[in-house]
A and B are shown apart, each in its own frame.
Chain A
Amino acid sequence: MSTRSEESRQIVASLAHRAGSDPDTARIAEAIIAILQDINAALTPIIGQQGVIALYRRSLHLCASTHPRLACTYDNLQASMDLIELKTILVEQDETDAQFFGEMLLTILYDLLTTLIGPSLTARLLSGVYQSSLSDTPSQENSP
């Protein structure tokens, strides 16, 4: 279960793009949260809120079991998809850790969806999340 390198690169690039150049932890956290919100917005109409929360929980679990060092940090997150809570934890990390976690979580979530509904439909449903962000101005640059 591994994302094809192309998608993986796209996720990493998208995250980096949204965080802007030389980002601090807060910017990285915001970028991760923004992408998760976009995923939520893209998938909820189709698979329902509960479906998205289940995908998120499963991705968190896989993330923690693949990378045990993340387990202790993210294990105590609520069962719901509480992005404010996630952000609070993220900003406490250093840049490298936060970035690593973001890349892992998003890649795993993409992978998970791919195993369930196949690469082409996954790409189709999440195209707005990863493609548009590369052409848009990073949202963070507009925020105060």
Chain B
Amino acid sequence: MSTRVAINRLATGVPGLDEVLGGGLPEFSFNLIAGPPGCGKTTLAHQMMFALATPERPALFFTVLGEPPLKMLRYQQQFDFFDSDAINQSIRYINLADDTLAGDLDEVLRRIVSEVEAHSPSLVFVDSFRSVVLASQTQDNPNNNLPQFIQQLGMLMTTWQATTFLIGEYFTETDTNPIFTVADGLIWLRQSVERNSMVRKMEIMKMRGQPTLPGLHTFRITTAGIKVFAPAIADLSVEAPPESPIKRLKMGVPALDEMLGGGLPRGYSLLVAGPSGSGKSILAATFLGEGARNGETGVIAVFEQRPSYSQNPRLASLINSGQVGLVDSRAPDLSIDEVVQLLLSEIRRLKATRVVIDSLSGFELALAPTFREDFRESLSRMVTALKGAGVSVLMTSELEDRYTDLRFSPYGTAFMTDAIIVQRYIEVESRLLRIMAVVKVRASAHCNELRQYHIDENGLQIRDMLPDQEGLLGGRPTNRVQDRNTQDIKMFEPGS
């Protein structure tokens, strides 16, 4: 039997926060919620308080000099988590403005301690702690006994078995501030502004005794409160070794299944790259339709201004019937983690096996500018997360036709996917024709033909190769025989 102390971890009630904290909030910890004005500190505190406080585990919320309590109550009520019935029952507000104005930290401490002794709270909040500090500095003796005050407060709260949150406006985390040292947990909230977009980010700079998820995590504040988008952790247990023999999914276009070597291997990610109008979205919809025909469910994430599903009756009916879940977030300034969360929750809800992302180009535009620099890393994370969920993914990518090189995506992301289909326009006899090829199917034989195809009311129709043409990928194929003759002639041209 272990003789170590077991730290009880409290579920914060803030979606995603427990994951970021590394499993919840350690009981009796002494924490600082810091950040500039308007970043959601008070809201975070309230959301946790309403989730955690019970008559057996009451909370004390000390208001100091920041936001007037009346206003705080007025605005916090707008959130769904606010429950008036809890006030004066499991949650008690205590105003310390007068004690703080006097600037005597000993007196403030005495008041806090006497209230804590009177009510035996399990949760204590001090908002804003910064104003306590500032008030103390207005005395003749600047910063009179701040380190001592914090030290004592931290010690007292822990001994009184209270999980404590100090809420403060701090702008730089590099300040040497005694509170940063004493606190067990440091939760920094930030607002990252780039161009005219604003993204809220959270960082757990410190949380003693547990492995937090490092880095900046985006969060959103809605009427439901704060929602943190913790990065999806790939569940390695799901990523089983490749099935043998490989189980394959039908694409809904029999000739394409043949080209893929019998269909798309299950659990693969497929990139369909092609120029505008080449039929990528139609192929994606056919892929989902074929799944539905076989009793599978799917999820489609669209990022276009005029999503393709609105013009595709088959897809629209699949969405309406609930066989395909739609992730159509028009929220501005999306983060990759938010999209992944939306996708994963929809996949879980529908037990989906097929996922379509239409398109990567639209997705990049939907992301907040601050994430675009890391788009490749983000995509890689998304593909990993989706593979971890065990689904097969089809992603479309808008590809500007460049006839000088064979590119598959503008992001250098081709290596991330297991399979690639490329679509091209070619010019033959004054007509714009479409050709398609399977470029890669990882660990599987596939066809290497460049096949002509066209689109009609039944979808993609794949035809034969164009054996008498060559240079198809250059966009302007030439007749092979004729070209040979020309070449022969050229060889004999004098002076060449």
Binding site for B on A (CB under 8 A): 44-51, 55, 116-118, 120-121, 123-125
Contacts and interface: CB of A to CB of B under 8 A. Distances in A.
15 contacts: A46-B63, A46-B93, A46-B95, A47-B68, A47-B69, A48-B68, A48-B95, A51-B70, A51-B95, A116-B70, A116-B71, A116-B74, A117-B74, A118-B84, A125-B88
Contact of B77 (A50, A121, A123, A125): A121
Contacts of B84: 118, 120-121, 123-124
B85 interface: yes
A117 B70 contact: yes
Interface in B78-114: 84-85, 87-88, 92-95, 97-98
Given A47-B73, A117-B74, A117-B77, 7 more contacts: A45-B94, A46-B93, A48-B68, A48-B69, A49-B97, A125-B87, A125-B88
A124 B70 contact: no
Nearest to A115: B74
Interface in B408-446: none
Interface size class of B (residues with CB under 8 A): 10 to 19
A46 B77 contact: no
A116 B74 CA distance: 6
B73 A121 contact: yes
Most chain B CB neighbours (cut-off 10 Å) among A47, A51, A55, A116: A47
Nearest to A128: B88
Contact of A49 (B71, B73, B98): B98
Secondary structure of the A contact surface, majority rule: helix
A40 to B, nearest CB: 13
A124 B87 contact: yes
Given A51-B70, A116-B74, A45 B87 contact: no
Contacts of B73: 46-47, 116-117, 121
A47 B73 CA distance: 9
Contacts of B87: 121, 124-125
A51 B77 contact: no
Nearest to A113: B70
A47 B70 contact: yes
A124 B92 CA distance: 12
Contact of A51 (B69, B85, B88, B92): B69
A12 B69 CA distance: 28
Contacts of B70: 47, 51, 55, 116-117
Contacts of B68: 47-48, 51
A109 B97 CA distance: 22
Interface string B269-296: 0000000000000000000000000000
Given A124-B87, A124-B88, A125-B88, A48 B74 contact: no
A20 B87 CA distance: 31
Interface in B92-139: 92-95, 97-98
A48 B249 CA distance: 67
Most chain A CB neighbours (cut-off 10 Å) among B69, B70, B71, B85: B70
Q: Please list the 6 inter-chain residue pairs (A to B) with the smallest Cβ-Cβ separation, ordered nearest first.
A: A48-B95, A120-B84, A46-B93, A121-B84, A48-B97, A47-B69
Contacts of B71: 116
B97 A50 contact: yes
Contacts of B97: 48-50
Most chain A CB neighbours (cut-off 10 Å) among B63, B73, B94: B73
B77 A48 contact: no
A123 B68 CA distance: 20
A120 to B, nearest CB: 4
A116 B78 CA distance: 12
Contacts of B94: 45-46
